[in-house]
Structure 1
Amino acid sequence: MTNPDAPTDATPAPAPPAETPSPEAPPVAAGRVDSVDVLRGLTILLMVFVNDLGHAAPSWLHHIEPPDADGMTVADLVFPWFLFIVGVSIPLAFQSAFARGATTAGQVGHILLRTVSLLFLGVVYEGAGGDRTLGGARWTLLAFVAIMLAWTSPPREPGRKRTTFLVLKGLGAVALIALLAIYRRRPADTSLLFYGPVEGWPWFRSEWWGILGLIGWAYLTVALLTLWLGKRREWLMGALGVLILLHLVMNQGGLFKHVESKAWLAPVGPAVSWLRGVVDWIGSYVGIGEATGSLAAITMAGCLLGSILPRGSDVATPRERTSWTLTFALGLFVAGLVTDGFAGINKIGATPTWCLWTASLAALLWLALYLVVDVAGWRAWSIVARPAGANPILAYFLHPIVTEALSVAGIGGQVMAYKDSANPGIVVAGSLGMALFVCALTGLLARLGLRVKL
């Protein structure tokens, strides 16, 4: 399942918090890197902004048209930047987990659980608007509120606040189960896992995993590879190259295209046939070349950048991190230039050039934020985005919750009239206001104790 022309938004797993750094190397390396949260928050701000835009907004703010065009716009940067930030968070999360005494087996279980959660939420997000029982807007509003409560992370300290959030968490889970039970959409022919074609299926059906699901597959791929390869940065870089090659191979006939022509493989022919069947079966449910290939390569690029940030990193000072990131970004750009001849630049196709160049831009943006926020200490301005960066799943679902609530209340047309304006300035200003409102609301709910984690 590859990503069709859907909104490029998604939210990654949160990075662990960081301490206040200073220009000197040890404090910067030993503490939290605030620029990671700022980058995530700015990406969420951009996500809400471009997803909220009306038709009159400038074309370079919308997704590229036609969808198979060779090029990209600002909107086409959002999804890959989320994937990149997911990767940045992986080494930081592993360091934090193992410092608390986590085991490798426990981390594998955590990775699988988070992946399943992302796949589930991705499918629910994509199918929410199709409900005919309560109506798309009502079902979506209730389901997304239930999701936020079901995945809330209660405070650890015992007391009334923790008890309250535990009760809300339970109510959210029960409400979500009930909403899933009554969900009905227009009947359609479909195919079920391990079953086959079904006629007139009226429940959830998705032809792809949604943005969150694609993030889940990329996260699964890179997190397991990182757990296996460890801190060897050159091995992670090699894995990034293999993931790009996997995309190219799958789009040039597949892994087994020339097997029949190789007589020396005859002795292991049955094993090869079995392996090809397994790959084909997996490929019928997930785009191997995209979700676990080139899209995972973006996440791996973020993981490589994240590998210089943990405590004890061999790339510790601002000068070293600047030099490393500039070299890395240049390498990604050159690699994207080399692969441009295969399929050009295209988000829908998850082409290698699009993946490598968006990762390069993400690395450069992080570097700029790192120098401003962590090194220079100019962080007051980042309050507009940092709360959303620290609570990304909440921010991801808040935008549709706000818009559906306005719709159910019957005032959506009036409040969001800017979207239908023929004036590009009004459209842009209105959507920017919506994005800032969602980020501010995320921060307010976080201050009240609502933190959503997978």
Structure 2
Amino acid sequence: MPPYSPTLRLDSIDVFRAVTMFLMIFVNDLWSLQDVPHWLEHSKAAEDAMGLSDVVFPGFLFIVGLSIPFAIANRRKKGDSNALIIRHIAERTFALLLMGIFIVNYENIAGGAMVVSKHVWEIGMVIAFFLIWNVYPLTPAKKGLYTALKVAGYVLLAGLAVIYKGGDAENPSWMETHWYGILGLIGWSYLLGALTYVVTRDRLAWAVGGWLLFVLFNLADFSGVLRFLDPVEKYVWIVGSGSMPAFVMGGVVASVIYRNNAGRNAVGKTYLVMLIVLGLICLAYGFGTRPFWGISKIRATPAWVGICSGISFVAFAFLFWLVDLQKIKNWANVIKPAGTATLTCYLIPYIWYAVITLAGISLPLYLRTGWIGLVKSACFSLLVILLTGAINRIGIKLKI
């Protein structure tokens, strides 16, 4: 099977994405609990530590990278030129950045200074996202209606931006980029990883070179080699000092290896070994650099990059073995919507939290404490995924 064939499909990528999305919703709900075990939470910037919450986002970025070669190869198979592919990459990046900026500004909102409740503003924001990026049916007779709905979404976002006030209620400020939010960071990292793959294609040495470029940039930043760039850091920099696109390119490399070996005999076992070896190398790099700068997601240290990359390679190796080699995948059907409608799944909690707050609904403290609270958050994550599947079936699904 030729390496550029878009038919090379790994079910383990969708399952990996679904599991990671389940965990992301779970850890994002921990704020609602009390007495949460420390190993589940985000570690503070000054700590030399890493909790489960610090591993989930790197894993998601790794999956973004896993998907890039297949998605771009599929577009090339359909006849898209590099210019058209780059345009699509730019459009996806713009969408992620726009959503990220709105979400991070919601987190910095001065609710008391606005003409509407911050929770009403939040609901309006998510409704606008759905109006703009919903997958509308290909019905020529209703094309005008669907275009009008998209325009209404942009108008709603513009209106929300006009009334926005953030920061201090006494001295409010307007919207700022801040740190772009999770979706914005995914956008920048996707942009760099996708453009790198457009150039490298399925040439493994080039893909590895692109990966090492970001890893070494991150290492050089912490070692002080890049201090001469301090004057421009505020204006031109690689997101996360190279750490986040490094996770994406790690995933790209994993997919490129598979695509270059898919037509060979015993590719499964060979690929499995290669993933594990890469994982062990990354773990060795991470623990090897830990004595210098510690492990920290907040500071995006080389140790965090190495250890989380290693975990991602090994986790993907396990799921590849389980799902694609052993064909044991029915267990993931219940969380399948999280792997195929990920953006929808990510945004639903924003409406959920806003609605229950406006309605004055709150669970008793004993259901939000300790292990009982963790079970509650796990059930909430599953509920969001099931709700995602339900609204997908009635034609509501975001795609960028």
Larger displacement relative to structure 2 (357-366 or 40-49) = 357-366
1:135 aligns with 2:117: yes
Per the alignment, residue 363 of structure 1 pairs with: 313
Paired AA for residue 215 in structure 1: I
Bigger helix share: 2
- Summarize deviations over 1:332-377 as a string: whole Å, max 9, x none: 2222233223312111111112112112111221222222222222
CA displacement 1:62-91 (0-9 Å, x = unmatched): 112x33211211111111011111111111
C-alpha separation in 1, matches of 2:302 and 2:8: 34
In 2 relative to 1, CA 310–452 (structure 1 residues): closer, same or farther, beyond 3 Å? farther
Superposed, 1:41-440 pairs within 5 Å as 41-53=18-30, 54-64=33-43, 66-129=44-107, 130=109, 131=111, 132-156=114-138, 158=140, 166-186=147-167, 202-255=173-226, 257=228, 280-281=231-232, 283-285=233-235, 287-288=237-238, 290-291=239-240, 293-310=242-259, 313=262, 317-411=267-361, 413=362, 416-417=363-364, 421=367, 423-440=369-386
Given residue 431 of structure 1, which amino acid in structure 2 is its aligned partner?
A: S
CA 166–33 in structure 1, closer or farther in 2 if over 3 Å, else same: farther
- Return the alpha-carbon distance in structure 1 between the equivalents of residues 226 and 263 of structure 2: 37
Asked whether the equivalents of residues 122 and 209 of structure 1 are also in contact (C-alpha less than 8 Å), the reply is yes
Q: Distance in 2 between matches of 1:422 and 1:157?
A: 46
Deviations 1:240-263, CA, capped at 9 Å, x for gaps: 222122122223445364xxxxxx
Q: For the structure 1 residues 237 and 437, does the alpha-carbon distance in structure 2 shift closer, same or farther, using more than 3 Å as the test?
A: same
Q: Which amino acid aligns with 1:116?
A: F
SS at match of 1:300: helix
How far is the alpha carbon of 1:292 from its aligned partner? Answer: 5.2
Question: Is the contact between residue 154 and residue 166 of structure 1 (CA under 8 Å) also seen in structure 2?
Answer: no
Contact 1:141/1:401, CA 8 A, preserved across alignment: yes
Seen in structure 2, the aligned counterparts of structure 1 residues 143 and 228 have a Cα distance that, compared at 3 Å, is same
**Structure 1 counterpart SS, 2:166:** coil
Corresponding residue SS for 1:155: coil
Which residue in 2 is equivalent to 1:449?
395
Normalization by structure 1: what TM-score?
Answer: 0.79
Separation (CA, whole Å) in 2 of partners of 1:375 and 1:386: 19
Q: How many matched pairs?
A: 392
Letter in 2 for 1:387: P
Could you tell me how far apart the structure 2 residues matched to 1:249 and 1:435 are? 38
Secondary structure (helix, strand or coil) at the match of 1:385 reads: helix
Distance 1:185 1:353, change over 3 A: closer
Contact residue 35 and residue 373 of structure 1 kept, 8 A: yes
Q: Contact 1:217–1:292 at 8 Å: present in 2 too?
A: no
Distance 1:443 1:450 in 2: 9
User: Between the two proteins, what is the percent identity of the paired residues?
Assistant: 32
> Retained in 1: the 8 A contact 2:222–2:301?
no
Unpaired runs of 5+ residues, structure 2, are: none
Q: In structure 1, give the amino acid aligned to 2:85.
A: Q
Rounded Cα–Cα distance in structure 2 between residues aligned with 1:242 and 1:220: 15
Consecutive unaligned residues in structure 1, runs of 5 or more: 1-25, 190-199, 258-275
Q: Is the 8 A contact 2:133 2:399 kept in 1?
A: yes
Give the TM-score normalised by structure 2.
0.89
Check the 8 A contact 2:104/2:178 in 1, yes or no: no
